[in-house]
Amino acid sequence: MVRKRMITAIAMASVLATVGVESAALGASSTSLLLPQSTAFSVLGHSCGGIQEQALATGFDAASGYPTGNVYLQTRCGGSGRGGGYHSNTYSAWVDVTWDYTGTVVSYIPAGAPTSIDPTFSAFDSFGNEIHNQLNAVNVLPANCTVGDTTYCSYRAYLSLSSTFVPPPRVTSVSVTFGPAAGGTGVTVTGTGFTGATAVTFGATAAPSFTVNGDTSITAVSPAASAGTVDVTVTTPGGTSSASATDQFTFVAAPAVSGLSPDGGTVDGGTLVAISGRSFIEVSAVNFGDTPAGFTVNDDSSITAVSPAAEAVDTVHVTVVTVGGMSATTAADEFTYTPSTATSACGDGKLDPGEQCDDGAANGTPGDCCTVTCTFQPAGTACTDDGSLCTSDVCDAAGMCTHPISPWPACTPPDVAAGASLIMRTRTSGGNEAQFQWGEGPVVSLADFGNPSGSDLLQLCVYDQTGPDTYVLALTGSPSLSGGGAWTAGPAGWRFRSKTGAPDGITGVTLKAATMPLKAKVRVKAMNSPGFALLPLQSAPSVVAQVKTSLGTCWGATFSTPTVNTAKEFKAKSD
């Protein structure tokens, strides 16, 4: 009986062994330092039942003072092998990580394995804050532990703040990234630790006013400053926030016009004028006196404009308006209107004096950018279709029919968040696959689909938004009968199937109408090596997917927070 009790006691004692350093920051609570699972997934690209993490603190960053460390990531993916045998794949990686004083990840970068691992490491900074490691071993001696043994060995890193320490603030984003050098731009600063803020500074210049909305938000007004990019920092009793790429604001100088060529033209307008100067950045308008003109920005020192018609002989100033303000008037920007010499015959196909354009018999026809009075159609007027549903067909300010890549603004979105999904994947066996599915939206009638087996076209367009109103096509394709595909009509919609997917890789389309909200469905599959942009997508600020028809109907969604965006796969639910 005694021997049995001794064996039981020994077994219980071996269940758990802990090696580490007890926090010496008295009165402080410990914060565990790890990577969010979503971040860990973006590194590994796999998650089979979750990603196990082993964290080891290494010190405090010399520049920011934030805690640093190494995190080991691992996940095991299993399955039955040939003949019923079982095998598994283990995916792992090391990441160098910097956290702020709240334990939030500031930055991370994949790295090689550290040269040494110290589960008993402990360090203090000059404020009395401590980082320390702790190893918990279950059913195994700590000396026999490795980071790869995530079943029985748990390596953890902790941050303990001194009870007298006030963390410095941290800026994570600014709502506006540029404004005029004259100042006056309202900017919302987002971050942590803003309570008690005493100053908000743009570079070396203090904001003339600011309001602390809460611990994570401040509204400030940009000061007047020299042109250039600066860091927006916040100062509190805990110190001043460290500079980073997420806090930058660019001051844009006001434009200046230094010359016009030619510097005059007739009151009929239509004179092409080369405007030279500087700071022609984000140009929003060119004015001849009080009259706006059509223009093209060649670069930041050159603009080509078309003089508008004038009511009488006069000399006016030509001004340029940008995000930096309006150019000051000088003798160098004066344009002189002279009497009319027009003897034009609008519609003869020749560009005569006083005419902005003359396309002959095509003037004023649908799709033409020249009116019947030989003036440019307003910018944004619809013009001749280029044959692609993934582009817009609009006249520009210089009377040219352009075809910018852009989603349709009136495309029908789902009525609920995550009502649509998008997957683009490079297969391990070779080739690509993609799928867009739209649902959870309003009522869709059968007539909205038209007759896709006949003359009504359908196209999938996936746009990667690379900036404000700027898109590139990441994926496009249409179902085709030429590759052996076939449409089948049903009482509630249409189905398309193709074994080859030629020529665009589209192998399946489902169009399901519904008289009840949230029941309609639109799905496009591309399984046979569709061509798409190299992954990962920029997705800044978003990716947009739309299924469009030549009838003008459209079903689409925006994806701004992908769950996967790696070199192998993009996967997201809609906003």
- Co-location of 120 and 174 in the same domain: no
Question: What is the model's pTM?
Answer: 0.49
* Rounded Cα distance, 18 and 14, in Å: 11
**Given a cut of 60, is residue 247 above it in pLDDT?**
yes
SS3 content of the chain, % helix, strand, coil (to 5): 5, 45, 50
Whole-number mean pLDDT of the chain?
89
Residue-wise pLDDT for 342-352, tens only, equals 666 888 888 87
* Rounded Cα distance, 457 and 434, in Å: 20
**Given a cut of 50, is residue 235 above it in pLDDT?**
yes
- Co-location of 155 and 204 in the same domain: no
Q: What is the pLDDT of residue 352?
A: 76
Domain boundary among 160, 185, 219: 160
- Co-location of 431 and 567 in the same domain: yes
Output b/e per residue, 472-481; b: 16+ Cβ within 10 A: eebbbbbbbe
- Co-location of 245 and 349 in the same domain: no
- Co-location of 175 and 218 in the same domain: yes
Q: What percent of the chain has pLDDT over 70?
A: 93
Q: What is the pLDDT of residue 342?
A: 62
Collapsed DSSP state (helix, strand, coil) of residue 428: coil
Asked, for residue 503, whether it belongs to a domain, the answer is yes
Neighbours of 468 (CB within 10 A): 7
Asked, for residue 395, whether it belongs to a domain, the answer is no
CATH of the domain at 293: 2.60.40.10
- Co-location of 93 and 137 in the same domain: yes
Residue-wise pLDDT for 315-329, tens only, equals 999 999 998 999 999
Poorest-confidence range of 41-50, 230-239, 335-344, 380-389? 335-344
Residue 324: partners with Cβ closer than 8 Å, 6 or more residues away: 180, 181, 182, 227, 252, 253, 254, 255, 279, 281, 282
* Rounded Cα distance, 372 and 291, in Å: 22
- Domain range holding 537? 420-573
**Given a cut of 90, is residue 124 above it in pLDDT?**
yes
Residue-wise pLDDT for 370-415, tens only, equals 999 999 999 989 899 888 999 989 999 899 999 999 899 889 999 9
Residue 85: partners with Cβ closer than 8 Å, 6 or more residues away: none
- Co-location of 44 and 189 in the same domain: no
Residue-wise pLDDT for 98-117, tens only, equals 999 999 999 999 999 999 99
Residue-wise pLDDT for 217-233, tens only, equals 999 999 999 999 999 99
Neighbours of 446 (CB within 10 A): 17
- How many domains does the structure of the chain reveal? 5
- Co-location of 567 and 443 in the same domain: yes
Give the pLDDT band of residue 12 (cuts 50, 70, 90): very low
Asked, for residue 5, whether it belongs to a domain, the answer is no
- Co-location of 447 and 381 in the same domain: no
The better pLDDT of the pair 53, 533 is held by 53
Distances (CA, A) of 503 to 159, 315, 373, 499, 524: 57, 59, 44, 11, 15
- Co-location of 269 and 244 in the same domain: no
Give the pLDDT band of residue 13 (cuts 50, 70, 90): very low
**Given a cut of 80, is residue 9 above it in pLDDT?**
no
Q: What is the pLDDT of residue 344?
A: 65
332 DSSP 8-state letter: G
Asked, for residue 247, whether it belongs to a domain, the answer is yes
What's the rounded mean pLDDT across residues 472-479? 91
Asked, for residue 6, whether it belongs to a domain, the answer is no
Q: What is the pLDDT of residue 87?
A: 56
Domain boundary among 160, 178, 213: 160
What's the rounded mean pLDDT across residues 548-562? 93
Nearest CA-CA partner of 491 in 456, 518, 515: 515
Asked, for residue 7, whether it belongs to a domain, the answer is no
Amino acid identity at 199: A
What's the rounded mean pLDDT across residues 420-446? 91
Asked, for residue 165, whether it belongs to a domain, the answer is no
- Co-location of 436 and 512 in the same domain: yes
* Rounded Cα distance, 401 and 367, in Å: 8
Q: What is the pLDDT of residue 387?
A: 86
Give the pLDDT band of residue 6 (cuts 50, 70, 90): very low
- β-strands 256-261, 272-278 pairing: antiparallel
Residue 570: partners with Cβ closer than 8 Å, 6 or more residues away: 422, 423, 424, 425, 535, 536, 537, 539, 543, 562, 564
Poorest-confidence range of 72-86, 369-383, 525-539? 72-86
**Given a cut of 50, is residue 290 above it in pLDDT?**
yes
- Co-location of 19 and 156 in the same domain: yes
